[in-house]
Amino acid sequence: MSILIKNGRVVDPANKIDAVNIQAQAATIIDAAGKIVASGIIDIHVHLREPGREDKETVASATAAAAKGGVTTVLAMPNTHPAMDCEDNIKLLQGIIKKSALVNVLICGTLTKERLGQELSDIAALKKVGALAISDDGCSVDSDTLMLEAFKKAKQAGLLTVCHCEDKKLSGKGVMNLGFNSTRLGLRGISNESEYKRVSRDIELAAKCGAPVHIAHVSCRESVDIIAAAKKRGVKVTCETAPHYFALTDEDIVDYDTNMKINPPLRAKQDVAAIKAGLKNMVIDAIASDHAPHTENEKDIEFDRAEFGKIGLESGLAISIMELIEKKILSWQELVNVLAVNPAKILGIDKGTLSVGAQADLIVIDAGKEFILEKKSIVSKSKNSPFIGRRLKGLVEYTIYNGKVIYQG
């Protein structure tokens, strides 16, 4: 069955197209007059929680949330139970994906066994079984020598290394950004330094052996500067930020809202400005959600004790439209670049475009549609969104994956 989307404004930066499309014959016709038609979002930082923590999220629930959010490809982070550190575990996840995934799910393997930062995973074997990248996300490998070894092995295997940059000796027991707001709330702070020093180290080690490196969830201004400088001198570095790092600051944690407890933490105004500028001048390549579901039991408690992380698959596009398009930071072309085109390039997959013959992963967006994010409307199994109750703008009307409508708003 064929689908025709007519009258929509097609935004396809990969083919340098921004035009209202033409009509043809098809079985299903979607009238997209006044709507944006673009490639499905490729979200390269998602915690599916399955296997192991199906109480938080499953492949089925996360990919349903993805479909609702216009996301047609996700990269699953490996910090599951068991972790994605060997062939067998990846095969286990692949089986689940085959049975229950609604969108394209790609797998990131671990850097080290059980993500303990002690012993490298068999990186070549992870590649062979189908991992697209490796990461110990949630942790950073402290040992320089081990990290260098990982970059070398990843390069040999042709795998991208994704770095969660955090020096735990510096972030310690911190629960929010270090500054006046942590002082005011009496909470332990996490310095920018704990992030950017590790960004700097990882880039240096990757450059040493010529391995590509991707910096996950960039949150602070110094990290943006360090990555910009590395790109300038030709290091193969890419990076992503998340919508909360350009939509929220540490000031938003006014009443100890644990859905605002995120790692890296929500930063200061100057950091948000630097993140936006980084997106504009293409230092930051991609927007990824760092979708991190947690149950109410893990969030509805004291701030110090609550888990880090928030969900983001369903709200990322709206937040991006509000903060970047509406505030004239990015054009639609530039937004589609960071949401789909660049993420595809980073992973080396043939997606993110609307080229003739390309797999039909696309979305129809009503960019002007306003709605209030209600807890009960959240598809994800966990409801830990810091945007609950807020008025958002930009709704996905259709998500088409592999030529089929998988979500209709």
Partner 1 sequence: MLWTRKDLLGLEYLTPDELQLILDTAESFKEVSTREIKKVPALRGKTAVNLFYEPSTRTRVSFEVAAKRLSADVINIATETSSVRKGETLIDTGKNIQALKADIIIMRHNCSGAANILARSLDISVVNAGDGWHEHPTQALLDIFTLKEKLGKISGLNVAIVGDIAHSRVARSNIWGLTKLGAQVTLCAPEMLIPPGIEITGAKISNNIDEVLKNADAVNVLRMQFERDEGAAFPEQLDYFKKFGITEERLAKAKKDIVVMHPGPINRGIEMSSGVADGKNSVILEQVTNGIAVRMAVLFLVSQAKEAKG
For the sheet with 237-241, list strands across it. 41-46, 71-76, 104-109, 133-135, 160-163, 213-215, 237-241, 286-287
119 binds, among partner 1, Zn ion, none (CB under 5 to 8 A by kind): none
Helix (H, G, I), strand (E, B) or coil at 71: strand
**DSSP per residue, 372-394:** E--GGG--SS----TTTT-EEEE
Of the pair 188, 390, the CB lying nearest partner 1 is at 188
Q: Based on the shown chain and the rule CB under 8 A, indicate whether residue 368 belongs to the binding site for partner 1.
A: no
Which member of 50, 85, 137, 285 binds Zn ion (CB under 5 A)? 137
CA atoms within 13 A on the CB side of 345: 16
For residue 144, give both structure tokens: 């320089």
Q: Which residue is nearest to Zn ion (CB)?
A: 164
Residue 139 or 388 with smaller CB distance to Zn ion:
139
The torsion region of residue 98 among left (phi > 0), alpha (psi -120 to 50) and beta comes to: alpha
Residue 1 burial (CB < 10 Å; 0-12/13-18/19+)? exposed
| Shortest distance (Å) from residue 350 CB to Zn ion | 25
CB of 248 to Zn ion, least distance (A): 17
Shortest gap between Cβ of 268 and partner 1 (angstroms)? Answer: 10
- Applying CB under 8 A, the span of 12-20, 83-91, 302-310, 398-406 interacting with partner 1 comes to 302-310
**Nearest CB to partner 1, comparing residues 189 and 386:** 189
| Cβ 257 to partner 1 shortest distance, Å | 9
Three-state secondary structure call for residue 408: strand
* 350 contributes a contact to partner 1 by CB under 8 A: no
- Contact status: 15 vs partner 1 (CB under 8 A): no
Contact flag: residue 180 with partner 1 (CB under 8 A)? yes
For partner 1, which is the closer residue by CB, 180 or 348?
Answer: 180
The answer to whether 319 and 243 are in contact (CB under 8 A) is yes
Q: Does residue 367 contact residue 334 with C-beta atoms inside 8 Å?
A: no
Of 183, 270, 281, 402, the one binding partner 1 by CB under 8 A: 183
With CA atoms as reference, report the closest residue to 199 among 256, 275, 140. 140
Instruction: For partner 1, give the closer residue by CB, 158 or 180.
Output: 180
If binding is defined by CB under 8 A, does position 375 make contact with partner 1?
A: no
Residue 136 as a binder of Zn ion (CB under 5 A): the answer is no
> Binding to Zn ion by residue 164, rule CB under 5 A?
yes
Q: To the nearest whole angstrom, how small is the minimum distance from the Cβ of residue 252 to partner 1? A: 14
- Residues 256-285, interacting with partner 1 (CB under 8 A): 256
Query: Quick check: 301 binds partner 1 (CB under 8 A)?
Result: yes
Q: Binder to partner 1 among 80, 181, 259, 384 (CB under 8 A)? A: 181
By CB under 8 A, name the one of 15, 156, 270, 297 that touches partner 1: 297
256's contact among partner 1, Zn ion, none, with CB below 5 to 8 A by partner kind, is partner 1
What's the one-letter identity of residue 228? A
Cα–Cα–Cα angle for 205, 206, 212, rounded to 5 degrees: 170
Active site residues: 290
Residue 348, Cβ neighbours under 10 Å: how many?
A: 12
Residue partners of 184: CB distance under 8 A and separation at least 6: none
Helix axes 221-232, 269-280, angle to 10 degrees: 30
Candidate ranges 26-34, 65-73, 135-143, 197-205; the one touching Zn ion (CB under 5 A)? 135-143
Helix, strand, or coil here: 222? helix
Binding site for partner 1 (CB under 8 A): 172, 178-187, 189, 255-256, 297, 300-305
Binding site for Zn ion (CB under 5 A): 137, 164, 290
